[in-house]
Amino acid sequence: MNKQDRNIEVHHLTRVEGHGNIYVNVKKGTVEKCEWQVSEAPRFFEAMVVGRHWNELHHITSRICGICSIGHTLASLKATEAAMDITISQQDLKLRKLALHAENMQSHILHVGFLVLPDLMGVGSVIPLAKSNPEEVKMVLRLHRTANEMSRRLCGRTTHPQRLIPGGFSKIPSKSELSELRKMLQDAVPDLQAAAKLVKSVAGKLPDFTRETEFIGLTSPDEYALYDGQLASTDTGTAPVNEYLSFTNEYIVPTSTAKWAKHARSSYMVGALARVNLNYDKLSPLAKEVAGMFGLKPVCHNPFMNSVAQLVEVVHSVEDSIRLINELEADGLKAQSDYFRPEVKPKAGHGVSAVEVPRGILFHDYTYNSKGVCTKANCVIPTNQNHGNIDLDMKTLVPTLLEKTEKEIELTLEMLVRAYDPCISCSTHAVKMRPV
């Protein structure tokens, strides 16, 4: 046994969204401190939306996160719509599902291609890869651009969508735009297969680490649940979305400006791996094939496999988007007037929503008064739900790494945190604690 001291201090971890720190202190072979800390400045969104109108909340809460702005907008709209009994058309539902696929693809490609791949290829960022592996980098860029082009056509732009509004869309894509989009998605399939081979060629660098945990996400009998579904846990089964607080149980940790969460065990995990674990059967055929290439099957307890699960989901999103566009075409895309505003009669009510966004299940919960002014809001963010799991993984992983050098331990821990694709700005959207 190695009796040496090990000190690891990663202040403001790179290649993740937001500010987080890793601290490990080993004295004579004994781990004295091992912590995941969140130091991002808190942002108080739940206080900011109080007093604002029903048709503004999605615009404000979109700003919780630039990377998952479509997901936040959709969760916000769904909560407002639930509170006021607003229904949307089947066409709008399909267009929203496409928007969500676009963001999941964009975010996953960015994460796997630009943030994770450099670790597997032994470099500090994608910038040197652009010189050493130009074809691979161009392929990732092409996939990324397809996903962004999809967001643009559905939402008006890629970051902070403009067209998504309560009750539907202010503007929708034309038939020809949708069929061009389908062509782009079909053309992306060979790139996806090449990307899967590329990741597979370096997947041996993913640490073989397993710690049993609970996985939570949405599930549905009809499809691979992303836009809607029931709450599901690998430990306790399903529950209605309205009961989300009994799943999330958020609590405060002194070393963190973000809230943490726990359910049946001391921590749980959300995100692509949780979704694949819960809904593997509903993946598209090619997505299952890619999962098979990596031996990814439910229930997989290796958090490093989250990046592989993201790749599998990109493939699923491409195939499912083609299916949705075919359906929209078969149903006959119904045009709408310019500057369209669905009819909404604001009323008092309470609405809860859950949407699967790139990093996991996201909840928005609003209360409105009779004028349609928000009186209370709560948002539970995927990364908050993962902080506890990251910390426990670290505490389990570190004692197995003591034979390694500080540099190697540091890299493995950085890779662990990156595997969760944490969105730290999101997770500090607010920190709440009942007055002591």
Partner 1 sequence: MKPKVAFFDFAGCEGDQLQVANLEEELLALLGQVEVVSFREVMKEQSDDYDIAFVEGSCTRLQDEERLKQIRSNAKIVVAIGSCATIGGINSLRNYKDLDQVRKTVYGEQAKLFDTYAARPIDAVVKVDAYVHGCPINQKEFLQVVKSLLMGKRPDIPTYPVCVECKKNENVCAFERGEFCVGPVTRAGCDSCCVNEGTVCWGCRGLVDNPNENSQKEILIKYGLTVDDAIGKFKMYFGWQEAKR
Binding site for partner 1 (CB under 8 A): 12, 14-18, 40-44, 47-48, 52-53, 56, 59-60, 63-67, 69, 110, 114-115, 118, 124-127, 130, 141, 144-145, 148, 156-160, 162-163, 165, 169-171, 257, 338-340, 425, 430-436
Beta-sheet strand order (sheet of 374-380)? 349-357, 360-368, 374-380
Question: Of 61, 57, 56, which Cα lies nearest the Cα of 44?
Answer: 61
Question: Of 414, 407, 374, which Cα lies nearest the Cα of 393?
Answer: 414
Question: Of 10, 9, 22, 2, which Cα lies nearest the Cα of 256?
Answer: 22
Shortest distance in whole angstroms from residue 163 CB to partner 1: 5
Look-up: residue for tokens 């990156």? 418
Q: Phi first, then psi: what are they for 362, rounded to 5°?
A: -120, 135
Residue 259 in tokens? 């809230």
Give burial (CB, 10 Å; 0-12/13-18/19+) of 308: buried
| Residue 288 neighbours by CB distance under 10 Å | 18
Residues in the chain: 436
Shortest distance in whole angstroms from residue 402 CB to partner 1: 23
Query: Does residue 167 sit in helix, strand or coil?
Result: coil
Shortest distance in whole angstroms from residue 211 CB to partner 1: 25
Q: What is the DSSP string of 257-325?
A: SS-B--SSSS-EE-SHHHHHHHHGGGS-HHHHHHHHHTT--SSP--GGGHHHHHHHHHHHHHHHHHHHH
Determine contact, residues 386/392, Cβ cutoff 8 Å: no
Shortest distance in whole angstroms from residue 384 CB to partner 1: 15
In the bound state with partner 1, the residue whose beta carbon lies nearer, of 112 and 430, is 430
What's the gap between Cα 230 and its chain centre?
Answer: 17
In the bound state with partner 1, the residue whose beta carbon lies nearer, of 183 and 432, is 432
In the bound state with partner 1, the residue whose beta carbon lies nearer, of 169 and 420, is 169
In the bound state with partner 1, the residue whose beta carbon lies nearer, of 14 and 266, is 14
In the bound state with partner 1, the residue whose beta carbon lies nearer, of 229 and 360, is 360
Shortest distance in whole angstroms from residue 14 CB to partner 1: 5
| Residue 236 neighbours by CB distance under 10 Å | 14
Residue 226 in tokens? 């992303």
In the bound state with partner 1, the residue whose beta carbon lies nearer, of 230 and 336, is 336
Shortest distance in whole angstroms from residue 351 CB to partner 1: 21
Shortest distance in whole angstroms from residue 225 CB to partner 1: 26
In the bound state with partner 1, the residue whose beta carbon lies nearer, of 207 and 298, is 207
Shortest distance in whole angstroms from residue 44 CB to partner 1: 5
In the bound state with partner 1, the residue whose beta carbon lies nearer, of 52 and 323, is 52
In the bound state with partner 1, the residue whose beta carbon lies nearer, of 204 and 435, is 435
Q: What does the buried/exposed string (b/e) look like for 161-175 if buried means 16 or more CB atoms within 10 Å of the residue's CB?
A: bebbbbbbbebbbee
Shortest distance in whole angstroms from residue 269 CB to partner 1: 23
Determine contact, residues 154/69, Cβ cutoff 8 Å: no
